[in-house]
């Protein structure tokens, strides 16, 4: 088996892991996000007519899409790497004739595919339900790629370092989810009083949400170039960190 064949095999395995359990990996997050749109958007939309000249039920869609993709990419890779370590299966992957970059890429494929499946499904449903536009498709595609690669890589890193399953869920539920909720998913930070508006700029998720929102609506809390720049500045080191762990075998080789 060549390195390229090993990469294809690993990528197929990670993709099948998502597709065989699609009701849990894709359908459930899409339904949950749609409920947010229906409950928050349509109910609060009666009181909050518009935000930044956009109907409220439309305004919250980009943030919900970003949040769903972030959670899916992270959870997918954190769980697959942790399980591979626990079962000893990762040793078979590391002993295969593949370069470390091929192993890294093969594992990232699963998180990227799952996150994209959720993001695209949710976006299509939102377009049908509330008529959300896609004003800057190139910016949206760039933002989405950076976001899913970033959190797939972070999930990989956490899955490698985690000692117990609780460690992976702790990061997802106590760190990522709260940052997403206060990162402008349901509101614009311009509405916040000082110093909360200023402090919001230290939340990295704000830039992810702003980048995705600009792609959909053509406007956001943060300039698109700054949002993409900050997201890229987080994505590159996260990917390199995951690559370093596979290259060195740290916490992987028993």
Cβ atoms 63, 40 nearer than 8 A: no
pLDDT for 228 equals: 96
Cβ atoms 160, 243 nearer than 8 A: no
Higher per-residue pLDDT: 78 or 199: 78
Average pLDDT rounded to a whole number, residues 26-48:
80
Say how many C-beta atoms besides its own lie within 10 A of residue 46's C-beta: 8
pLDDT for 41 equals: 66
Cβ atoms 241, 157 nearer than 8 A: yes
Cβ atoms 204, 230 nearer than 8 A: yes
Does the structure show a pLDDT above 90 at 143?
yes
pLDDT for 167 equals: 87
Least confident of 35-44, 170-179, 192-201, 239-248: 35-44
Distance (Å, whole) CA 162 – CA 178: 20
> In percent, how much of the chain has pLDDT > 70?
94
Does the structure show a pLDDT above 90 at 214?
yes
> In percent, how much of the chain has pLDDT > 90?
53
Average pLDDT rounded to a whole number, residues 166-190:
87
């Amino acid at each position: 088996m060549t390195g390229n064949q090993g990469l294809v095999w690993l990528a197929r395995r990670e993709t099948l892991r998502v597709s065989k359990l699609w009701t849990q990996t894709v359908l459930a997050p899409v339904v949950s996000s749609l409920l947010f749109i229906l409950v928050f958007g349509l109910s609060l939309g009666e009181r909050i007519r518009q935000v930044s000249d956009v109907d409220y039920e439309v305004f919250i869609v980009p943030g919900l899409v970003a949040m769903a993709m972030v959670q899916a990419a992270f959870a997918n890779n954190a769980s697959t790497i942790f399980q591979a370590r626990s079962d000893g299966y990762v040793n078979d992957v590391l002993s295969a004739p593949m370069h470390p970059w091929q192993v890294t890429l093969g594992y990232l494929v699963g998180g990227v595919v799952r996150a994209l499946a959720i993001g695209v499904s949710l976006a299509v449903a939102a377009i049908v339900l509330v008529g959300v536009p896609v004003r800057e498709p190139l910016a949206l595609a760039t933002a989405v790629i950076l976001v899913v690669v970033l959190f797939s890589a972070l999930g990989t890193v956490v899955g490698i370092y985690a000692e117990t399953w609780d460690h992976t869920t702790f990061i997802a539920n106590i760190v990522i989810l709260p940052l997403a909720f206060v990162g402008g998913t349901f509101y614009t930070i311009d509405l916040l009083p000082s110093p909360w508006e200023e402090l919001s700029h230290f939340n990295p998720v704000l830039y992810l949400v702003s980048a995705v929102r600009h792609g959909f609506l053509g406007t956001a809390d943060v300039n698109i170039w700054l949002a993409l720049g900050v997201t890229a500045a987080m994505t590159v080191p996260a990917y390199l960190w995951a690559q370093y762990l596979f290259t060195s075998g740290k916490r992987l080789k028993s």
